Structures are given as C-alpha cells and as structure tokens.
Amino acid sequence: MKSKLILAASVLTVCTMSLAFTTNQKPKPWPVPEKNAKMVNPVKSNGESVSAGKALWNLHCASCHGKKGLGDGSKAAQLKTTPQDISQASVQSQSDGSFYYKVSEGRDDMPGFKKKIPDTDDIWSIVNYIRTLKK
C-alpha cells in the first residue's frame, strides 16, 4: 500500500512539473507601444548592415536565442522563459519598430540593450540581421 502511495505521489509530481514546464513554453504577449511599433528602420538593409548586425547578434543574442534564432542558445535552458524561435513567420511578421523596441527595452529574462549597445544604428542593424533568420 505504501509503495502505491509513493508511486501515485511521484506520478502527480511529474505531471505537475510537466504542466508547469508546458505552461511556461507559451510566450506571453509582449505589447509594443504603437509609436514604437510604427518606427521605420533608418538603416538600409545591405551587406554591411546585416554583417554588423550578425556580429552584434553573435556577441549579445546568440547565447540565448541561438546562432540561427531558434531559441536554442547555450543559456536558453537556464532561463525562466524559453526564447522564441525568431525564424517563425508569426515572429517575423512583427514590425522593425517592434523588434527595435524589444531589443532596446528588454523584458523578464531578456535584458534591454540600449545601454550595452548605445548606437541606435547598431540596434537597427541587429533588426536587419533578424530579418535574415526566416525559415
């Protein structure tokens, strides 16, 4: 009888942990103020900008988001929230201004980079690089 209770408690614990993990996987909405969402990228997306954005991505973003933006970086498993797969159409459909806002301001596990990357053109170059991470 005691072993059945222990087994039942173990199953309940695993189910609860699985539910918590699964619930944590769904990204919560990240509203962007309308004025920010409507911002137009002033940095032309060309080889120079994308290359600069990729270098900054590898330095600041890849450890969590992964080299290809799949949310599989080396630090991703340590976070409370799972980084989104940036290559998904639902993510890529966001405006450049929304990406700029999110990179600059951050939220929860994601730090804001406006102090670490003070040159706004550099953040816009990251946005240009993010656009290359489509599936």
CA pair distance 95, 102, nearest whole angstrom:
11
Model pLDDT for residues 73-110, shown as the tens digit of each residue: 999 999 998 899 999 999 999 999 999 999 999 999 99
The CATH number that applies at residue 76 is 1.10.760.10
Domain assignment of residue 1, yes or no: no
Domain count, the chain: 1
Whole-number pLDDT of residue 28: 84
Average pLDDT over residues 28-40: 96
Boundaries of domain holding 97? 29-130
Domain assignment of residue 58, yes or no: yes
CA pair distance 94, 82, nearest whole angstrom:
19
Domain assignment of residue 49, yes or no: yes
Confidence (pTM): 0.80
Domain assignment of residue 114, yes or no: yes
Domain assignment of residue 85, yes or no: yes
* 15 pLDDT more than 70: no
CA pair distance 99, 37, nearest whole angstrom:
8
Q: Which two tokens stand for residue 51?
A: 């290359």
